[in-house]
Structure 1
Amino acid sequence: MNALILIAEDEDEIADIIRAYLEREGFRTVHAANGEVALSLHRALKPDLVLLDVSMPRLDGWQVLSAIRHHDMTPVIMVTALDQDIDKLQALRIGADDYVVKPFNPVEVVARTKAVLRRTAGDRAGGMLRVGPVEIDQEGHDARVTQPGAEMRHLPLTLTEFRILVHMARSPGRVFSRGELVDACLPGADALDRTVDSHVSKLRRKLEEAGVPGMPESVRGVGYRLVSVR
C-alpha cells in the first residue's frame, strides 16, 4: 500500500494544493486543520510521514512535533513561513527530518517527502543491530550497553544521535564522511559539518559514560567510524 501522508495545515487552500500534488504521485493523504486533530490522527492512523505547519490553532507545530517525538519516530517535515536560522535549529533540536519554507513549490515538497521516506526507510524497517557491547533495537528506538558482569545501561540518545548510531552500526568499521551523515541522518541540506561534529561528540560522551570509550572514532580529515571495542 502506498505511503500515507498526514498534512497538518490550517490553511485549506495550501492543504489542498499539497494533497493534489502528493496524490498525483500515488501517495495517500489525510488532512488535519489544527494541532489537536493532527495528534489524534497520528495516533489513530500511524501515517508514514507528517507534513507539519508551525503556526496552527490549539496546538502549534512545535508542540505537535514534541508530542510525536515522545513516543514515535514518524518522519516529520516542518512547513512554515518562518525562515530564520533559529527556527531551523529549533526544528532540528526537537527532531524534525526536514524543513520547507513558505511560499514553496509543491513539486519541492513532494521531492522532499520522497527523499525523507527513502532516508528513514531503515528506521521503519526495525531489527536489532550490535557493535561490540552496544546493542540497538531499531523498532523499539532503544540503544543499550551490555557487558559481562555489568548492569545493562540504556543510552539516553536524542533522535538525531540515535539515527547516527544506527546508520553507522549498519556498516561497522566503515568510515562515514560528514556529508554522508548529513544526508542520512540530518534534516535537509542546511546542516553543517560542525552540526554533525556536535551530535557525534554528544553521542561519544554518552557511550563513554556507559563504559564504552572511543566510539564513534574520528578519522582525521575523513569523518567517523563505529569500531567494535570492548
Structure 2
Amino acid sequence: MRNIKLTIEYDGTRYLGWQRLGNSEKTIQGKIENILTQMTGTKIEIIGSGRTDAGTHARGQIANFKTDSKMMLAEMIDFLNRYLPRDIVVKKVEEVPERFHARYNATGKKYSYHVWNNEIPSAFERHYSFQFSQELDIDLMNEACRKLIGSHDFIGFSSLKKTKKSTVRTIDELSIQQEGSMLHFTFVGNGFLYKMVRIIMGTLLEIGTGTLELGVIDEVFENKIRSDAGMTVPSQGLFLDEVYY
C-alpha cells in the first residue's frame, strides 16, 4: 500500500470549504476524491492537514491518501490537473512513508489575510481580500500584533464552544506589510483554532480604527469571552499558505 502526499492550491470562492459534505459537489475534498477514485478505480478518501471554511483559499494545503495503484507520480499529477476544475491545482505529488498523516504530523501552519484599505473597491481583488474603508492606525495595530505573539489560550479569539482539548496555541509571527491600498497580514504558529485568524483580524482592524482599545487583547486572554473580541472578518481574504512538518 502506497501513501501519497499532495500539495494543493485552490481558489475557494465557489466552494463550501475543504471538508466533504454529504452529497454536495461543492467541496474541495469531494472534488479531489472523485478524481482520485476515477484515476485508481477504487474509492479514495483523502486526509487534509485541516479544514478551510467556505470561500477560504489555499496556496499550500496538504493531503494524503493510501492506494494500491502502480501509477507513476508524474502520471498522477497529470491526471489530476487534467480532470480537476481549473480553480483546484495539485502542485506536487510525493510518495511518503506509510505512517505520514497530513493532519496529525503537522507541526505548524502559515496563513495570510489581505485587506483592501480603500473607499473604492477593487474589481480584481474582491474575491481575495476584504475591503475595509476606514482609516487605520498601522503603528497601533503592530503593537497589538506583538501582544498576540507567544503562547496563549486563544479560546476567546475563536468560535469554538467549550472543549476538553487544550486551546493554548503559539503564534510565532504576526506581521503587517503594506503595499499601496493592500495590507498583507502574516500568521505563523503551531496551530489555529476554529475561525481564530478571522477573529484576530477583526480585533486588529477594530483596534486600528479606535473602536476597541489595545487592552482588549489582555482582557480576552484573561476572561476567555468571545464577544469581547472583534468581529469575524469575511473568509475571502484568508489563505492557507503553508503547512509545516
- Say which structure, 1 or 2, has more relative contact order (CA 8 Å, 6+ apart): 2
**More strand per residue: 1 or 2?**
2
- TM beyond 0.5: no
Give the number of the structure whose alpha-carbon radius of gyration is greater: 2
